[in-house]
A and B are shown apart, each in its own frame.
Chain A
């Protein structure tokens, strides 16, 4: 709690109130704290292991997809056996075994949920801690029940498949990772019992409470976990860049190839040529975007020269609409205007009905692709980007303009010497951001406008990664390209930030 003199009294009251509940810790309590930290770490490991295919304790057969985590096996029995269907059809007798296997997975999930609850309670006061111990104890028991259930199922399957003569079909194996879960379960049980006796007896008349700092943290925890899973966890996918991996396969150390794919890009003639054109397109289109980045500013300045408020508002309203439709819709509009039976061709034909002109599909031409993409980008974005400048212009002191007029400044000198300098700081920030994003043009625009004819000219880095990875299934190669792109982008961002700090004394990130 930050000391604020105005609120000194209420804050000290607060602290007193807290002190009443949370007494100074004894030595046994401190020992319990250390044990609690170990247990919380075990809970974290347990929870994350659920989502990693490597730690799938119920993968007792190589027929089960190696990219499935324990969690997926538990929630979806069907997808656990999706790669198993052929075998399952021939040997119906194995089905009960796999049903109980997915029950084991569910037990482990339940145990983890109880353990999370217990772990959260361990942040509370003595009374809460004591209750938390029961939770973690229960979690340990359920977890061991689930994990130890796997072995008998596996043994039963081994015996049955030998008896049926189908042992090789089943590709059974003993998942060693289940010892991790056993260890975690043992930690839960042992530590909860020990901690129950280490935590001193709670005072009479005090209910379950928790310090504010932990209460706030626990409210935040789910949000942090989501951010971790969807923003940090994908970074772990960079490992695919170092393996010889094909879609649907299992990742194993035998397929480790080091930096093979990094050099591969420049070894193969075809890939090398691809990368060169892609880089050329990317830099050209981003470069054109940067060269025309002053356009929204000019748009705003000239619009503000119009004195009729109604007209200005109408222009603003309608030029901003394109920003709010997707690129797919932009393409639909482009089709309506420029395709073979679109507006332009219809107009040309209706002007001279006797002359059978051949209709051209302007979208199937490959000429000036960079400029066309730039034009679409400007059409979509200029009205929206101008708003920030319009807001800035309306904030300029009118007295400056009046003074300049009195001094004999014309319209253009007023624009150039008053308005533009006022807008430059905003412009600089946006310019630096666009330089930092030079490799990220986005994919949607180029994907929707690409076709067999203009493919060469339109493929930018983001689209290339998509085509390579999702289209052709070359996962390691596309991961390498994406990885290099991400790293370069982050470096550029920090460079742009450094430049901004050096010049303007303000950071942009």
Chain B
């Protein structure tokens, strides 16, 4: 107990010392001007980054009449959540939410599993032609057949207008395999070798040793993979153009944004007939657009705080080496 008290006392004294010795550094007028300009720039830029989100949000929770009149600028007026409740009646929106959630979960889970397994396997020197197969995977990052051959290939494989089109092509991700491989190489090999001596199979070693030990990197690729799935839009637009029931949320939002000022068409295609008049009366295109945008943004903002600690690792995504 006394030790801890002493520690606290020491720390307090240290703090005091630093305070006394650091505050007396004089700021020149140039420094002050620099600081003001610097702070001002970052404040303005930060506001420009979050204000659009805020503006969307206050519009969706304000009274619709005021929104239509253009009375909402900086603060919400006439608080209501009726827009979100109304949106619940839009059937195609909910199928999109479901499809997007499903693809995010299934796609990310499979991608993480395969990246972990492949990352582990390519570290095994005894594999048959390991170097060749590793290069075979990695080299796919650097070339691309192009959009049209990719589309034709997918339609040849029968993957157009299917849910599988969202999942299967993204399972093997060479970037993530390299990340996992690099990480696994940093795990002391003694652990694995001793398990092998004890008669564990490769599969057991992977499941019981490699998988738990490489969780930090797997969490990183999972979170970036999930964001990628949530935001992905091209595959829905190109491959599933003829299956509205498979549109992802981003694609749905894109359609609503494009249909601006054409409320009648939207009501017909988007909202189940029973509620058509009720909804069309209360919400205009603008509010529908804003509300769907918020529905699309909210999940990202929810996971965002948890993502932040993976940023530094995720940065390797941009600067990896084969």
Contacting pair B127 A213 (CB below 8 A): yes
Are A237 and B153 interface neighbours, CB within 8 A? yes
B53 to chain A: closest CB distance in Å? 7
Interface string of A131-155 (1 = CB under 8 A from B): 0000000000000000000000000
A318-B149 in contact (CB<8A): no
* Contact status A333-B193, CB under 8 Å: no
Q: Which residue of A lies closest to B144 (CB)?
A: A486
In the bound complex, what is the Cα–Cα distance between A317 and B49 (angstroms)? 10
- Do the beta carbons of B233 and A444 come within 8 Å of each other? yes
Q: A51-B157, A237-B150, A321-B50 are in contact. Are A341 and B286 (CB under 8 A)?
A: yes
**A319-B49, A335-B257 known; A7+B59 contact, CB < 8 A:** no
Find chain B residues with CB under 8 A from A347 CB.
73
Given known contacts A319-B45, A328-B254, A335 and B289 CB-to-CB distance under 8 angstroms? yes
> Any chain A CB within 8 A of the CB of B307?
yes
Q: How far is the CA of A238 from the CA of B126 in the complex (A)?
A: 36
Residues in chain B near residue A324, CB distance under 8 A: 227, 231, 300, 304, 307
Q: Select which of B145, B232, B307 is within 8 A of A486 by beta carbon.
A: B145
CB of B49 within 8 A of CB of A383, answer: yes
What CA separation (Å) do A69 and B156 show in the bound complex?
7
Q: Does chain B have a CB within 8 A of A167?
A: no
State which residues 460-484 of A face B: CB under 8 Å.
462, 465-466, 469-470, 475, 478-479, 482-483
Known pairs A212-B126, A325-B297; list 15 more (Cβ under 8 Å). Answer: A10-B197, A51-B157, A52-B156, A215-B202, A227-B137, A227-B174, A229-B157, A320-B311, A321-B304, A329-B293, A332-B293, A336-B55, A346-B73, A482-B147, A483-B145
Interface residues of B (CB under 8 A from A): 30-31, 34-35, 38-39, 41-42, 45-46, 48-50, 52-53, 55-56, 59, 70-73, 114, 117-118, 121-122, 124-130, 133, 136-137, 140, 142-153, 155-158, 168-169, 171-172, 174, 193, 196-197, 202-203, 227, 230-234, 238, 250-251, 253-254, 257, 260, 286, 289-290, 293, 296-297, 300-301, 304, 307-308, 311-312, 315, 318-319, 321-322
Is A92 on the interface with B (CB-CB < 8 A)?
A: no
Instruction: State which of A76, A317, A478 has its C-beta within 8 Å of the C-beta of B308.
Output: A317
C-alpha spacing A240/B296, complex, angstroms: 38
A75 interface contact, C-beta 8 A: yes
Task: Write out the residue numbers on chain A whose beta carbons fall within 8 Å of the beta carbon of B202.
Answer: 212, 215-216, 219
Bound Cα distance from A325 to B53, whole angstroms: 11
CB–CB A319/B147 < 8 A:
no
**A residues within 8 A CB of B133?**
217, 220, 224
- Are the CB atoms of B319 and A388 closer together than 8 Å? yes
Complex Cα gap A349–B203 (Å): 67
Cβ contact within 8 Å between A67 and B312:
no
Q: A485 at interface (Cβ–Cβ under 8 A)?
A: yes
Residues of B near A318 (CB, < 8 A) are 46, 49-50
A223-B118 CB under 8 A given contacts A216-B128, A237-B145, A341-B70? yes
- On whether the beta carbons of A220 and B70 are closer than 8 Å, the reply is no
Is A53 part of the contact surface with B, judged by Cβ < 8 Å?
Answer: yes
22 contacts between A and B (CB under 8 A): A1-B126, A7-B193, A72-B157, A231-B172, A315-B42, A320-B311, A321-B50, A332-B253, A335-B257, A339-B260, A341-B70, A343-B55, A346-B73, A350-B71, A350-B73, A391-B315, A411-B30, A444-B233, A462-B147, A479-B148, A482-B148, A489-B144
Chain A residues, CB < 8 A from B203: 219
Q: Nearest chain B CB to A102's CB is how many angstroms away?
A: 13
**A336–B52 CB distance below 8 A:** yes
Contact (Cβ within 8 A) B148 A240: yes
Q: Which residues of B contact A315 (CB under 8 A)?
A: 42, 45-46
Bound: A79/B243 CA distance, A: 15
CA distance A10 to B193 in the complex (A): 9
| CB of A465, distance to nearest CB on chain B (Å) | 5
Contact residues in B for A212 (Cβ distance below 8 Å): 124, 126, 202
Residues on A lying within 8 angstroms of B by beta carbon are 1-2, 7, 10, 13-14, 51-53, 67-69, 71-72, 75-76, 79, 212-217, 219-220, 223-224, 226-227, 229-238, 240, 302-303, 305-306, 311, 314-315, 317-322, 324-329, 331-337, 339, 341, 343, 345-347, 349-350, 379, 383, 387-388, 391, 411, 426, 429-430, 443-444, 448, 462, 465-466, 469-470, 475, 478-479, 482-483, 485-486, 489-490, 493, 507-509
Q: Smallest CB–CB gap between A240 and chain B, Å?
A: 7
| Docked-complex contact B233 and A328, CB < 8 angstroms | yes
CB-nearest residue of chain B to A317: B308
A333 to B293, CA, bound (A): 8
Q: Are B290 and A465 in contact (CB under 8 A)?
A: no
Task: Tell me if A490 and B142 are in contact (CB < 8 A).
Answer: yes
Would B59 and A238 count as touching, CB distance under 8 A? Answer: no
Which A residues are CB-close (under 8 A) to B172?
223, 226-227, 230-231
Please report the C-alpha to C-alpha distance between residue A236 and residue B157 in the assembled complex, in whole angstroms.
Answer: 13
Instruction: Known A319-B45, A411-B34; judge A337-B137 contact (CB<8 A).
Output: no
Select which of B50, B71, B148, B158 is within 8 A of A76 by beta carbon: B158
Is the pair A306, B38 in contact by a Cβ cutoff of 8 Å?
A: yes
**How many Å from the CB of B120 to the closest CB on chain A?**
9
Name the distance in Å between B50's Cβ and chain A's nearest Cβ. 5
CA distance A331 to B233 in the complex (A): 13
Residue of A nearest to B199 (CB): A17
Shortest beta-carbon distance, B237 to chain A, in Å?
Answer: 8
CA distance A120 to B260 in the complex (A): 57
Q: Are B304 and A230 in contact (CB under 8 A)?
A: no
Nearest-neighbor residue (CB-CB) of A305 within chain B:
B38
Contacts of A466 in B (CB 8 A): 147, 238
* Cα distance, A194 to B321, chains bound together (Å): 48
CB of B30 to closest CB in A, whole Å? 8
Q: How far is the CB of B2 from chain A (nearest CB, A)?
A: 32
> Smallest Cβ distance from A460 to chain B, in angstroms?
13
Q: Tell whether, in the assembled complex, residue A72 and residue B158 are in contact, meaning their CB atoms are under 8 Å apart.
A: yes
Among B126, B136, B289, B318, max chain A CB count under 10 A is at B126
B234, A69: Cβ atoms closer than 8 Å: no
Knowing A325-B231, A333-B53, A387-B312 touch, does A235 contact B125 (C-beta < 8 A)?
no
| A474-B233 Cα distance, complex, nearest whole Å | 22
Please measure, in the bound complex, the distance between the C-alpha atom of A336 and the C-alpha atom of B119, giving whole angstroms. 44
CB contact under 8 A between A349 and B70, given known A231-B140, A320-B311, A343-B55: yes
Residues of A within 8 A of B129 (CB): 217
- A219 to B122 Cα, complex, angstroms: 11
CB contacts (< 8 Å) of B55 on chain A: these are: 336-337, 343
B170 to chain A: closest CB distance in Å? 9
Interchain CB contact under 8 A, B56 and A219: no
Q: Which residues of A contact B315 (CB under 8 A)?
A: 387-388, 391
* B156/A326 in contact, CB under 8 A: no
B136 x A478 contact (CB < 8 A): no
B144: chain A residues at CB < 8 Å are 486, 489
Q: Which of B38, B52, B146, B197 contacts A483 (CB 8 A)?
A: B146
Are A302 and B156 touching (Cβ within 8 A)? no
Given contact pairs A230-B169, A325-B231, A336-B290, A470 touches B49 in the complex (Cβ within 8 A)? no
Closest beta carbon of chain A to B213's beta carbon, Å: 19
Expressed in whole angstroms, the Cα–Cα distance for A396 and B12 within the complex equals: 29
Chain B residues near A341 (CB, 8 Å)? 70, 286
- Decide: A350 and B125 in contact? CB cutoff 8 A: no
- Please determine whether B147 and A379 come into contact, CB atoms closer than 8 angstroms: no
